[in-house]
Amino acid sequence: MRTPVKKYLPIAAGILLAGLPLAAFSLWLDGNIEQKVRFETQLNADRTMTMINGRLTRVAAALNDLAARGITTCSPEHIEALRKTAFVTSAIKELSIIGTDGKQSCNDTGLQLAPPQMVGSAYQTKLPNIMLDVLHLPDVNQNMVRLRRRLTEGGSVAGLVAADMFVPIAANVAAGNSNVRVTGPDGAAIANVNGKVIAEARPDDLFSTMAESEGFGLRVSVSNTRSQMASKNSEVRTVGFVSSTIFGIFILGFMAFLMRKSQRGDPSTEFAVALSRGEFVPFYQPIIDIVTGKLIGAEVLVRWRKPDGKIVMPGSFIHVMEQNGLIRDLTHHLMRQSCIDIGPSYACRPHLRVSFNLTAEQFEDEATVGEIRSIFAKSPLKFSQIVLELTERQEPKSFSKTRQVIASLQVLGCKVGLDDVGTGHSGLSSILKLGVDIIKIDKMFVDSMDDDRNSATIIGTLVDLARKLGMDIVAEGVERFEQVTELRRRGIRMAQGFVFAPALPAQAFLQLVDAITPQQEAAAVQPSQLQAGILRAMSA
């Protein structure tokens, strides 16, 4: 029997039509990748230069202060002044007095090293009386930058800055296989961080950009590869091709589209089955009072523990569960499991809190209040121990409904927090309109508060606002004790992050609770050993 050719004409036409959106998407994605390469490369260069300018400016200010105080000799009193200034100025590696002959007379460390070799010629900065040198120190085989503040009586007071002080951000860039190079005014090398992919890249695959310091004459050059950026966008490309393929299948016919969709499968079904089996478990990230070292409570973060023991992070499933209406059931499951996990321990410690994340839709639904009441009414956890967090990354559709639900939850005794403050749609207006009890500063501001003036200003504004409105404020993503010290200086009492502990399974968190907050009444007076250790580390 002869095969009817006309039967396959629509299929052939559909394949051709499907190829058009695929080709258009590929062209769009290539242009998008090129744009992202340029943007991220320039952003890395600008961030690194901002950090360098900030640290050199602080060093120059320290030198000007020493000159103004008349610290110009090698007397014991002046040496002690150099040491104190070096101690409080983190970027300074060494402070020294330079004689009129250009040789070092003394330094704050007392170490006698081989004379440095001048790599880059002396450069007059935009700051009055401040010179910049690029030196090589033979004893440590390292290039350094030296700022010299000329003195009216001759000679100068100088501060050495190690090259590695210029590349914390660059080191993170290099982890992504980029290249970052910091050079002096005349091209002398100061720091260079090489990524493996860059070293092996083809010349036509490289893209480079530069940022220059107007005040100190330094340059930062950052290089990326287009292929590396393309690999980072592989998921976008995959989604685009799948979407285009679905479009082509739709052209072939509605039945073919339904068959294709069924073949691809629905990941939400797998998540629903896993939820029914109790495979999603709460992990608890401790929140610490960074002034006293006491445990404030914990934020509940979900993990998917598969039957084979593999732990899957929430980024792999939360978004799909939100889109498929499973997020509410997941939230209720985490709440009920938390009552079982930590309820008995919290019942003996009424001051401890536990935080749960809710979506913007849940905060707009009055049924949420009844659900919270039903879950916790007969549990060991009191309503006063419950904190419900709304992320600012999700914009409420109705501020009035959200405010009503928040007020009802507060009537129950729950606290309401606004998460990721400063990163979302509404900014300070959300805090004022919604009437929340707690605001949480996003990790991006904590990471950059030392070197980014805007981040420091935002944090200061939030602290002032929280104080005036009687709200608590929590810093997220704290990873270094230097950040703890700076947060305390800015008036922030509570923080969470890897510097204290990651998100912990229930058993490990309960061990931490017992160690920091024992049930004995004596614990209210005498800090536990672990609590005292936290205080000592934060004060170091």
Domain boundaries, the chain: 1-229, 275-539
Packing angle, helices 327-347 and 267-276, rounded to 10 = 30
Q: Which burial class, exposed, middle or buried, applies to 204 when counting CB atoms under 10 A from its CB (0-12, 13-18, 19+)?
A: exposed
Out of 193-202, 349-358, 482-491, 517-526, give the one with best mean pLDDT. 349-358
430 pLDDT higher than 70 = no
pLDDT confidence bin for 191, thresholds 50/70/90: confident
Q: Residue 531: what pLDDT?
A: 57
Give residue 4's pLDDT band: very low, low, confident or very high (50, 70, 90): very low
> Does an H or E element contain 48, and which?
helix 9-68
Is 7's pLDDT higher than 50?
no
Better-scored residue on pLDDT, 425 or 346: 346
Q: How many CA atoms lie within 13 A of 266 on its CB side?
A: 11
If one compares 142 and 484, the residue with the highest pLDDT of the two is 484
Residue 321: φ, ψ to 5°? -65, -35
Task: Kindly write down the DSSP assignment for every residue of 373-435, as one continuous string.
Answer: HHHHTTSSS-GGGEEEEEETTSPPS-HHHHHHHHHHHHHHT-EEEEEEETSSSSTHHHHHHHT
pLDDT classification of 258: cutoffs 50, 70, 90: very low
Lowest mean pLDDT among 129-143, 246-260, 320-334: 246-260
- What pLDDT, on the 0 to 100 scale, is given for residue 280? 96
CATH of domain 275-539: 3.20.20.450
Tens of pLDDT, residues 353-370: 999 999 989 999 999 999
Report the pLDDT value the prediction gives residue 173, as an integer from 0 to 100. Answer: 44
What's residue 368's pLDDT? 95
Identify the band that residue 3 occupies on the pLDDT scale cut at 50, 70 and 90: very low
Mean pLDDT of the region 480-507: 92
pLDDT band at residue 422 using 50, 70 and 90 as cut-offs: low
Instruction: Using a cut of 0.75, tell me whether the model's pTM lies above it.
Output: no
Q: Tens of pLDDT along 466-477?
A: 888 889 999 999
User: 2-35 burial string, b = 16+ CB within 10 Å, else e?
Assistant: eeeeeeeeeeeebeeebeebbeebeeebeebbee
Proportion of the chain above pLDDT 70, given as a percent: 75
Q: Which two tokens stand for residue 147?
A: 């700022």
For tokens 């499907």, what's the residue? 18
Q: Is the pLDDT of residue 425 over 70?
A: no
pLDDT computed for residue 518 by the predictor: 79
Lowest mean pLDDT among 167-171, 176-180, 396-400: 167-171
Most confident residue range from 90-104, 262-276, 368-382, 390-404: 368-382
Q: What is the largest CA-CA distance in the chain?
A: 109
pLDDT above 80 (res 264) = no
Lowest mean pLDDT among 273-277, 348-352, 531-535: 531-535
